[in-house]
Amino acid sequence: MGEPHQKDRRSPENPGAEASALDEKVLDVALRLLSTRSRSVEELRTRLLKKGLSRPDVSDCLKWLQQRNYLDDEAFSRTLVRDRIRFSPRSPFLLRTELRNKGVAASLAGRAVTAVLEEEGISTFDLAVKAAESWVRKQSPSVRQDLVGLRFSPEREKARRRLYGFLARRGFVGDEARTGMEAGEEEARRQVNPENGEA
């Protein structure tokens, strides 16, 4: 993401304007923020305005970045959804909510979540399973043992409540949560008795 050539720096609102119309300070701050991680247009706008930069200069800068594909809400949304599916699974509702909280339009957020799930061949139930299995793997051996302990024992019920609470916070309810609970308990059995899990 190199420095733009001076001859290209024209105000997006007035293509014939001189290069100086695009404030270099605003652009430098924006590029620095984008170098740490990708951001939505609205997210970057908010950060720039919080730094006391003028609204017209920020608007010009954002348009300049969008025209050159430094900013692209659709690409940003798809990348975020893929990252969440792989590293921090949650329900489609929460995925859409997170995108909306980052300033992505509701319609685009919905399309991005649906498209990525279809491309990856993943259902909401699959996400619940992935989330539960990931949670179990991060627990201590004693918690995993409790999950597969005697039915209705206080220890098992406590471990189950913790897993259920985690799934609920990730947006899974009803049948999705039940599927996640079953998958979590099965993962705990594999962890506690690896020989049986492989059989």
User: 83-135: per-residue pLDDT in tens?
Assistant: 999 999 999 999 999 999 999 999 999 999 999 999 999 999 999 999 999 99
Residue range 15-34, pLDDT digits in tens? 434 334 688 999 999 999 99
Q: What is the pLDDT of residue 191?
A: 92
According to the model, what pLDDT value does residue 21 have?
Answer: 61
Residue ranges per structural domain of the chain: 10-67, 73-121, 125-193
**SS3 assignment for the chain:** CCCCCHHHCCCCCCCCCCHHHCCHHHHHHHHHHHHHCCCCHHHHHHHHHHCCCCHHHHHHHHHHHHHCCCCCHHHHHHHHHHHHHHHCCCCHHHHHHHHHHCCCCHHHHHHHHHHHHHHHCCCHHHHHHHHHHHHHHHCCHHHHHHHCCCCCCHHHHHHHHHHHHHHHHCCCCHHHHHHHHHHHHHHHHHHHCHHHHHC
CATH code for the structural domain at 10-67? 1.10.10
Residue 40, pLDDT above cutoff 70: yes
pLDDT exceeds cutoff 60 at 3: no
Confidence check: pLDDT of 62 > 80? yes
High-pLDDT (> 70) share of the chain, %? 87
pLDDT at 193 (0 to 100): 86
113, 81 contact by CB (below 8 A) = yes
Q: What is the mean pLDDT of the chain?
A: 89
Residue-level pLDDT at 194: 76
Do domains 10-67 and 73-121 share one topology? The answer is: yes
pLDDT value of position 1: 43
Task: Tell me what the mean pLDDT of segment 137-142 comes to.
Answer: 96
Instruction: Tell me: pLDDT of 14 over 70.
Output: no
Question: What's the topology of domain 73-121?
Answer: Arc Repressor Mutant, subunit A (1.10.10)
Q: What is the pLDDT of residue 196?
A: 59
Tell me the pLDDT band of 10, cut-offs 50, 70 and 90.
very low
